[in-house]
Amino acid sequence: MALALADLTGLIVASRVFELWNRTTVPFVLVSWLLLARGYTRQRRLVRSAGQDLNQVVSAVGAGTVTAALVAVRTPWVANSLLNAALLAVGLLLLARVVLLGLIRLLRRAGKGTEPTIIVGDGSAAGQFARAVTRKKQLGLEI
């Protein structure tokens, strides 16, 4: 939920900074945000990084930019502002993800937001896995 709100805020701020608050804003923000939303429902990774999200962010903002450019095809001055807004949006979205994911790691290390985990099996492999998970609190698993 926090990631979705951060993404939406970043897109709106980027479009507003470059005065795209007209008919190009809606396609830019909406298409980009809907494409980013696909990532919110995917299976969670244990240790997520902003670098892993780079491709998703760039492609979503790129699609939003192309859609907005098609809407504003008769307004040549919009192209430069749209490109600047897209670059700013990518930067803001990646910065927001770095901050949010850092907070998640801090909370997990403090024991908040962990998920109960059951290890099926016994023996040395299960013991090694349990010790590894216990040492790496940032995974958010509680045995």
Average pLDDT value for the chain: 81
pLDDT above 70 as % of the chain: 88
Is 51 a residue whose pLDDT tops 80?
no
Q: How many Cβ atoms sit within 10 Å of the Cβ of residue 124?
A: 7
Q: Tell me the pLDDT band of 89, cut-offs 50, 70 and 90.
A: very high
pLDDT attached to residue 139: 77
- In angstroms, the Cα distances linking 78 to 18, 28, 57, 64, 73 are 9, 12, 22, 14, 9
pLDDT attached to residue 91: 92
SS3 state of residue 115: strand
